[in-house]
């Protein structure tokens, strides 16, 4: 794999790590992530006290836990963003292996916490959802396989990544967790498209997804119930979807006011899957637009920086991470607004959840590491390195 990367910032030998990191990091993306986390804490102050009271905890029990998990997530994100892409790749593959083993053992050792889907390991003081940690590692190993397939005498990486994706989706469907399975399949499809997949093959894959959806609808009561609820013309006002849509409607442009919202008293997942409904009801469309703009800024800015990236692995992995991050946010908000069926997916860095926060910190740390500015040689050097011309030395990574 070529080591050519995007950027024109000079690197001084012996420069300390922190000054070099600060000079090359995408500060707009970093600031947007920090603002999203701050909004999540702010919304948690409004959304979580009713649930804490119901469960016999102090009023801000969940807010305190979110701050702790969020601090861990931001620490992991910053440390990961300081790593070189090659180190991120090694650790990502190792993390994927561990998460995949944990995912495979869920039917035996996992628990559903009474929600009808076996997605977690209970540790007593906390729970762990392997699928959240699987996603960033999957992107890394899939991008590595696809990039390796482009090398002379390289392995059939695209085919290998496809079969790996199918196996992962099967494990996720067994939980059942069709939302995460679709997200993993989407991430693979985006990377495969960037790697040069024929459009006809992607169309065949889309048809396969439709067929799989029909099979899941006919064989899974859990899946069918969610689809039927989404397709119904009338929304039961006593369901989570009904409460969420009413809250969004009541919020209007500026919301009903701090602490005046009612949806948090009725929705058991108001602080997780439906946190955007709390934001819309109490603070109105204004805050929702700000949240959407922050997610769009992170996703689009990362993609713009990756467009000029010459290292195929970095371009594929960064694109997969950025698109999965943006689509997860879109799905979460789309479910609350009833433009998508219920998926049970958190809003990154805003929703409560230890696994979601820490795994999100890992994923965004990887993305920040891939989008850092690094020196590169001329385009001709890239071709020579790829073996099209004579080989000449190129600039080293910063």
Structure-token pair, residue 281: 């009801």
Show pLDDT as tens, one digit a residue, over the chain (398 residues): 434 333 444 445 567 888 999 999 999 999 999 999 999 999 998 888 888 888 888 988 999 999 999 999 999 999 999 999 999 999 999 999 999 999 999 988 988 887 777 888 988 878 899 999 999 999 999 999 999 998 888 899 999 999 999 999 999 988 888 889 989 999 999 999 999 877 777 777 778 778 877 877 777 776 777 676 666 656 656 677 777 888 888 888 888 887 778 888 877 777 888 899 999 999 999 999 999 999 999 999 999 999 988 899 999 999 999 999 999 999 999 988 888 887 778 999 999 988 999 999 999 999 999 999 877 543 344 444 444 444 444 443 33
Where along the chain do its domains lie?
1-25+374-398, 26-371
Adjacent-strand bridge partners of 172: none
What is the distance between the alpha carbons of residues 109 and 252, in angstroms, rounded to a whole number?
45
127: helix, coil or strand? strand
Residue 347 and residue 344: Cα distance in Å, rounded? 10
SS (H, E, C) 274-331: CHHHHHHHHHHHHHHHHHHHHHHHHHHHHHHHHHCCCCHHHHHHHHHHHHHHHHHHHH
Q: What 3-state class would DSSP assign to 145? A: helix
List, in sequence order, the alpha helices (H) in the chain: 17-24, 27-47, 49-54, 61-81, 85-104, 106-109, 130-148, 157-174, 178-194, 199-219, 221-231, 240-251, 263-266, 275-307, 312-336, 354-370, 379-385
Instruction: Report whether 188 contacts 201 (CB < 8 A).
Output: no
Which residue stretches of 126-198 are H helix?
130-148, 157-174, 178-194
CA angle 181, 182, 186 (to 5 degrees): 120
**Are the C-beta atoms of residues 169 and 162 closer than 8 Å to each other?**
no
Q: CB neighbours of 129 closer than 8 A, spacing ≥ 6?
A: 119, 120, 121, 353, 355, 356
* Burial class, 212, CB count within 10 angstroms (exposed 0-12 / middle 13-18 / buried 19+): middle
CB of 24 within 8 A of CB of 248?
Answer: no
Q: Which token pair is 287?
A: 């805050």
Strand 121-122 relative to strand 127-128: parallel, antiparallel, unpaired? antiparallel
Angstrom distances, CA of residue 25 to CA of 37, 63, 263 = 19, 29, 39
Greatest C-alpha distance within the chain? 71
Partners of 121 in beta bridges: 128
């Amino acid at each position: 794999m070529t080591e050519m990367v995007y950027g024109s910032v000079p690197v001084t030998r012996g420069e300390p790590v922190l000054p070099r990191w600060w000079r090359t990091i995408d500060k707009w993306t970093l600031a947007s992530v920090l603002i999203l986390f701050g909004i999540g804490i702010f919304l948690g102050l409004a959304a979580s006290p009713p649930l804490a009271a119901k469960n016999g905890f102090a009023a801000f029990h969940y807010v305190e836990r979110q701050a702790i998990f969020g601090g861990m997530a931001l620490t992991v994100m910053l440390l990961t963003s300081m790593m070189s892409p090659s180190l991120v790749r090694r650790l990502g593959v190792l993390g994927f292996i561990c998460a995949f083993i944990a995912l495979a053992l869920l039917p035996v050792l996992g628990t559903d916490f009474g929600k009808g889907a076996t997605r977690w390991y209970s540790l007593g003081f906390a729970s762990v959802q392997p699928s959240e940690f699987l996603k960033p590692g999957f992107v890394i190993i899939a991008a590595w396989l696809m990039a390796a397939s482009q090398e002379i005498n390289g392995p059939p990486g695209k085919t290998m990544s496809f079969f790996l994706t199918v196996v992962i989706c099967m494990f996720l469907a067994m939980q059942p967790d069709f939302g995460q399975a679709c997200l993993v399949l989407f991430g693979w499809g985006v990377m495969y498209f960037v790697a040069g997949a024929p459009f006809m093959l992607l169309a065949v894959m889309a048809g396969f997804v439709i067929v799989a959806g029909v099979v899941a609808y006919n064989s899974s009561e859990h899946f069918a119930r969610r689809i039927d609820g989404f397709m119904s013309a009338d929304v039961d006002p006593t369901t989570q979807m009904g409460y969420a849509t009413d809250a969004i409607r009541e919020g209007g442009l500026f919301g009903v006011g701090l602490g005046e919202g009612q949806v948090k008293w009725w929705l058991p997942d108001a602080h997780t899957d439906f946190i955007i409904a709390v934001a819309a009801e109490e603070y109105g469309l204004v805050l929702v637009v700000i949240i959407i703009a922050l997610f769009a800024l992170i996703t689009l800015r990362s993609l713009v920086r990756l467009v000029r990236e010459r290292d195929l692995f970095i371009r594929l992995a960064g694109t997969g991470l950025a698109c999965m991050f943006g689509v997860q946010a879109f799905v979460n908000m789309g479910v609350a607004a009833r433009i998508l069926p219920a998926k049970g997916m958190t809003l990154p860095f805003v929703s409560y959840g230890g696994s979601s926060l820490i795994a999100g910190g890992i994923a965004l740390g990887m993305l920040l590491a891939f989008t850092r500015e690094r020196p590169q040689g001329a385009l001709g050097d890239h071709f020579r390195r790829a073996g099209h011309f004579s080989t000449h030395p190129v600039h080293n990574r910063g």
